[in-house]
Amino acid sequence: MPFTYDYPRPALAVDCVVFGLRESSLVVLLVRRGVPPFEGSWALPGGFVRLDETLDRAAERELVEESGLKVAYLEQLYTFSALDRDPRERVVSVAYFALVNPVEHRPQAGSDAASAAWFDVREAPALAFDHRHILQVALERLRSKVRYRPIGFGLLPERFSLTQLQRAYEIILDRPLDKRNFRKKIAALGFVVPTDALEEGVGRRAARLFRFDRAVYAALSEKGFDLELI
């Protein structure tokens, strides 16, 4: 049954950029499209928004349907409206992004997706629509944001060594950091706190494990303290 309106309007879609850290790489979740257009091409998980759901819910739903992935929090990134981004008709897409620990999430394709997998962001295949552009914008937002919000912690396990933490930032920022300066800044922040646990090490002194103290961070950010990490 067709849907009729007095005024034309574009179709509205969501797309999800989900990043993770795997070994020494930043990876992104992609799906291989099982339906036209761009059938057989890789793309960001996503789809059209239903009339009875918000954009946040649409993003969560499409991600679960197409990859099996359920994330704690999807953040709205940007709304893309280039006139020719979709060959079918005018489609405006609201992109979301999230950070997860990929070891915990084995993608399970479904719905419009024929398969789903993690790709190193530097080695992503050709993508459908304007998804390469969306991915690039997401990467820039991640790199910019990681400097002043503790979002890097979403990519790490609950307990991590300072070396692991530094490595995570170096992988995200794609540049080396000075170890001493990094540790000085981390210590000054106040919300990266030591635990009783030690990392298992072979042939070297075992490293102390740390954790991100959300309560301390919340209190500090409310007071407007200088929270720049890098």
Listed in sequence order, the residues at least 6 apart from 103 whose beta carbon sits closer than 8 Å to its beta carbon are 22
Residue 1 or 72: which CB sits closer to its own copies?
Answer: 1
Site string for its own copies, 85-124 (x = CB under 8 A): -----x-x-x------------------------------
Amino acid in the structure at residue 156: L
Closest separation in Å from C-beta 125 to its own copies: 27
Which of these ranges, 20-28, 35-43, 46-54, 195-203, lies near its own copies under the rule CB under 8 A? Answer: 46-54
The two tokens of residue 10 are 């574009």
In 10 A of CB 177, how many CB atoms? Answer: 15
Q: Which of residues 155-194 bind its own copies (CB under 8 A)?
A: 173, 175
* Contact assessment for residue 97 and residue 18, using Cβ atoms and an 8 Å cutoff: yes
Nearest-10 crossing angle of helices 162-173, 131-145: 140
Amino acid in the structure at residue 112: D
Nearest residue to 17 via CA among 92, 88, 90, 119: 119
By CB under 8 A, is residue 9 in contact with its own copies?
A: yes
Phi then psi dihedrals of residue 196, to 5 deg: -80, -15
Out of 39, 70, 73, 76, name the contact with its own copies by CB under 8 A: 76
Residue 203 or 224: which CB sits closer to its own copies?
Answer: 224
Residues that bind its own copies (CB under 8 A): 2-12, 48-49, 51-56, 76, 78-79, 81-83, 90, 92, 94, 147-148, 173, 175, 224, 226, 228, 230
